[in-house]
Amino acid sequence: MDRSVLVTGAAAGIGRATVERLLAAGCRVGAYDVDTAGLATLADDQADAVADGRLVTGRLDVTDATAWGERLAEFTAPVGGVLDVLVNNAGILSSGRFEEIPLARQRLMVDINVGGVLNGCHAAHPYLVAAPNPQVVNLCSASAIYGQAELATYSATKFAVRGLTEALDLEWADQGIRLTALWPLFVDTGMVVGMDTGTTRSLGVRLTAVDVADAVLEAIDAPRRRLGRGLHRGVGRQARAMLSASSLTPAWALRAVNARYASH
């Protein structure tokens, strides 16, 4: 897999596991995050990849459109301004009753989870169209199947990511850019530490960061499909079953199921 791939939120969790998997698969990887200390340990762990230029790390606040342009220009310069794959992974989560989560924290979720993906897709476009088989992989969530109690704003941000992915899949099809939205349930990373909601108690936390990283590689390697097939990919047995069932389930039934999960 000889491709240049940029990953956001790469210092820890899913992003870090994805970087490690991509390097093992032979990719040249740009690993970006605001957590420079985490990036430093990643670079130490992957010293050989840094030395031979296969791993580039750098600070990137995904809410900063100017910084996106600078990091993309730097990362793609050695390969002629080409980006094969963009992985929009950076995100934050706050759980609890909507009225009890500070509004500033909820706005920050929107800025990072939605604004970061908007910025990334917009800034990366000229570099993607220069690639022979460009792709964008957006980290969505099973919380975008139906709005989740105690995850209201986080869920809303993932609905936005879903909608953007679907729209760009249509808009960019004639430019050869393939879009994929990955749909994991709860993943055992720092984002869920201390999290206690009805849904987590009902469904548990059954995925690891490596599980999602493997799904990213599978999405990148998957053959192109017509009519949008493969656009949405559930990660793990639970999410795959939910995503499949949701296409045939009326809204009132989805509401009832989610209300039951939330009541535990």
CA separation for the pair 199, 205 (Å, rounded): 10
Please tell me what DSSP assigns to residue 224.
P
Structure tokens at 103: 């509004």
Q: Which of 32, 127, 146, 154 is catalytic?
A: 154
Structure tokens at 211: 């599980």
Per the CB < 8 A criterion, the answer to whether 58 and 38 are in contact is no
Among the listed residues 18, 30, 85, 82, the one whose alpha carbon sits nearest the alpha carbon of residue 54: 30
Structure tokens at 1: 């897999």
> DSSP letters of 113-150?
IIIHHHHHHHHHHHHHTTSSS-EEEEE--GGGSSPPTT
As a dihedral over the C-alpha atoms of residue 52, residue 53, residue 59, residue 63, rounded to 10 degrees, the angle is: -150
Per the CB < 8 A criterion, the answer to whether 242 and 217 are in contact is no
154 is catalytic: yes
Active site members: 154
